[in-house]
Amino acid sequence: MAFSQSFLDELIARNDITDVVSGYVNLTKKGGNFFGLCPFHNEKTGSFSVSPDKQIYHCFGCKKGGGVINFVMEMENFSFPEAVEFLAKRVNLPLPEQGKGSDDSLRRRILALNRDAARFFYETLQTPEGAAVEKYLETRKISLKTAVNFGLGAAQDKWDALLQAMTRKGYAKSELLSAGLVVQGKNGNLYDKFRNRLIFPVIDNRGDVVAFGGRIISKDDPGAKYMNSPETVVYSKRRVLYGLNLAKKSKRGNIILCEGNIDVVMLHQAGFDNAVASMGTALTQEQTRLLSRCTKELILCYDNDDAGKIATQKALAILQDSEFNVKVLQLPKRFVDGEYVKQDADDFIKYQGREAFERLLSGSADGMDFRMEQVAARFDLSDDKQKVEYAAAVSELIATLSNAVEREVYTARAAALCSVTPQALALDVQRARKRLFTKADRMQRRADLNPIAQVQPKLRTVRYDNVRSAMAEEGVIRLLTLDESLFGEVETLSSSEFSCQLLGRVFDALLSQKNDGHISVPLLARELSGEEMSHVSQLLQKPESAANAHRALRDYITLIKEEAQKRSGAGYDPLAAAVEKYKSKKGHGGK
């Protein structure tokens, strides 16, 4: 959907960025700005800044930034039109009656298609075509009430049941392809992606069906055990947690993070309605942002096999410096036919029962305990040589803790385990911590000795090939955002003379905004991606004096033109440039 600048100006004016961000982040005023813990990465010291004057946000840690529209897009995984619609509803601002853009239209169609597909799968479960899946649910002891609560469905054992049903409803085959509901074969024919499977609709926090998961119902099925929707315009597996739409309503004070959909379903059925699962991926930063809105305590409940332990370690690494209180629930192995076998949350509930899981839950260890146990498991602590090796390994782990009290507590615990004094192990921890600082300091000094690397954008997609020109281009953009009266002095400057394409696009966008009325940095979200907006917010954080703005702007323009002439192989003539500027001001060739 295309929005006029006047509408977007009013939208941004009504949605003060400080008010909007405060709905997600606890902010504290320091000077003219507000600061808080960044919602985009884990940190314990607030480096996230909101500027009421500029109406932008910027994190000095992860470098993300932008305006109020960008913030909502990032936090809610919205497209630009969806973010505008969200903010308009927030302040009761009527949306203009305009035609929908192609991307927005496709997104809305896919969401409607997913909703109808979920209904089709659900209704199939109630028919003879869904009998095999219904029998499978009975085998897994999933009740009808639970199936209804999660909207579980059945995919028929046919090649094109869903394809035929949705095309009869008016959906195009191209839309079914875009939604990942059908697959194109080598001969060009289309067929259903999900066939003869139990279907799990994936519902996001807004209540939209964004994807599907499918599980085989027979051990004889040669297909993959689990199958998930591909990434689409409405679905990114990094930004969704299965069951969170239900778990966020739980009265329990924490969230249980599991591996699979079945685990979530069975835990909810047993009364643990705070369970969620990632969609075929390790825990991501985006998912931790979703979780942070619901709880500050996470319980990791992955399978007790090697893959589950690795997944737990990865999750703990992501959550180490976060504001979450993290615990690990280690499921014991089950003794079957003379040997111990792994079990997941579903197995434990089924064989040990709800009360046993509740006891296990209340006794779950914190994340550091789990990591220390994993280190200890690698050594034979009855052997003196391995005790020394264990002390070195566990010291490296404890040294990563930023809190001194935590380091002391875990040092004492590890020392007792390997029968050494806490003082001796504390020296090892101290040395390991010193090595960490030395390594970080060496890397910083190496970076400081390379000034060109220091000014390069943090974005992988943007690089300054001509640093000298790019610094001047940044200066032009900063000055134009500081003082709109300076626009009259950039008439001879063209974005084609910019060495950095992104900065040239920003320059053109600002000129266009000025021609339409006045400039607005948050409005750049129309033209730029989230990463590009982050770069703009970062360059606007750099100091720029408005005292000698006119002279500084002239110097920047001269430098940009000199570098542009060098790239083209021609010389730069300042006198000719001055004449051209005089002519442009007089108009009609100076007559």
* Per-residue pLDDT tens listing for the chain (591 residues): 578 888 898 999 999 999 999 999 999 999 889 999 998 888 878 899 999 988 999 998 888 999 999 999 988 878 888 899 999 999 999 988 654 455 568 888 999 999 999 999 999 999 999 999 999 999 999 999 999 999 999 999 999 999 999 999 999 999 999 999 999 988 889 999 999 999 999 999 888 999 999 999 988 888 889 999 999 989 989 889 999 999 999 999 899 999 889 999 999 999 999 999 987 778 888 898 889 888 989 999 988 788 888 888 899 888 887 888 999 988 887 766 667 667 788 888 988 889 989 988 887 777 888 888 888 988 998 899 999 999 999 999 999 888 888 899 999 999 999 989 999 999 999 999 999 888 888 876 776 555 555 666 666 667 788 888 999 999 999 999 988 889 999 988 999 999 999 999 999 999 999 988 788 899 898 888 888 999 999 899 888 877 789 999 999 999 999 999 988 875 555 555 555 555 555 554 443
- 578 & 499 share domain: yes
- 108 & 229 share domain: yes
Of 50, 67, 90, which residue constitutes the final position of a domain? 90
If we measure between CA atoms, which residue out of 174, 158, 170, 175 comes closest to residue 121?
158
Q: Which residues, other chains included, contact 439 with Cβ-Cβ below 8 Å and sequence gap of 6+?
A: none
Asked whether the CA dihedral 155, 157, 158, 159 is positive or negative, the reply is: positive
Q: Domain containing 48 — which CATH number?
A: 3.90.580.10
Q: What is the pLDDT of residue 589?
A: 43
- The three-class DSSP label of residue 520 is coil
Question: Has residue 96 been placed in a domain?
Answer: no
If we measure between CA atoms, which residue out of 562, 522, 536 comes closest to residue 68?
522
- 131 & 250 share domain: no
- 280 & 346 share domain: yes
Assess contact for 301 and 330: CB atoms under 8 A: no
Amino acid at 418: C
Distance CA 170, CA 26 (A): 47
Of 332, 365, 398, which residue constitutes the final position of a domain? 365
If we measure between CA atoms, which residue out of 396, 433, 395, 400 comes closest to residue 412?
395
Question: Has residue 291 been placed in a domain?
Answer: yes
- 481 & 521 share domain: yes
If we measure between CA atoms, which residue out of 46, 23, 24 comes closest to residue 35?
46
- 358 & 403 share domain: no
Cβ-in-10-Å burial (0-12, 13-18, 19+) of 495 comes to middle
- 475 & 578 share domain: yes
- 292 & 331 share domain: yes
How many structural domains are present in the chain? Answer: 5
Question: Has residue 371 been placed in a domain?
Answer: no
Question: Has residue 370 been placed in a domain?
Answer: no
- 355 & 268 share domain: yes
Q: Domain containing 325 — which CATH number?
A: 3.40.1360.10
Assess contact for 327 and 298: CB atoms under 8 A: yes
Assess contact for 182 and 163: CB atoms under 8 A: yes
- 389 & 326 share domain: no
- 231 & 246 share domain: no
Assess contact for 469 and 563: CB atoms under 8 A: yes
Q: What is the pLDDT of residue 573?
A: 56
Question: Has residue 95 been placed in a domain?
Answer: no
Question: Has residue 372 been placed in a domain?
Answer: no
Distance CA 562, CA 571 (A): 8
Question: Has residue 561 been placed in a domain?
Answer: yes
Question: What are the backbone dihedrals phi and psi of residue 153, each rounded to the nearest 5 degrees, phi first?
Answer: -140, -175
Q: Domain containing 202 — which CATH number?
A: 3.90.980.10
Q: Which residue has the tokens 């992955």?
A: 302
Question: Has residue 457 been placed in a domain?
Answer: no
CA distances from 304 to 331, 333, 353, 573 (A): 6, 7, 18, 73
Distance CA 368, CA 376 (A): 12
SS (H, E, C) 161-214: HHHHHHHHCCCCHHHHHHCCCEEECCCCCEEECCCCEEEEEEECCCCCEEEEEE
Instruction: Find the domain containing 383 and state its range.
Output: 378-448
Distance CA 17, CA 38 (A): 15
Of 179, 204, 235, which residue constitutes the final position of a domain? 235
Q: Domain containing 471 — which CATH number?
A: 1.10.860.10
- 320 & 403 share domain: no
- Name the β-bridge partners of 275: 256
CA 548 to chain CA centroid, nearest Å: 41
Q: What is the pLDDT of residue 590?
A: 44
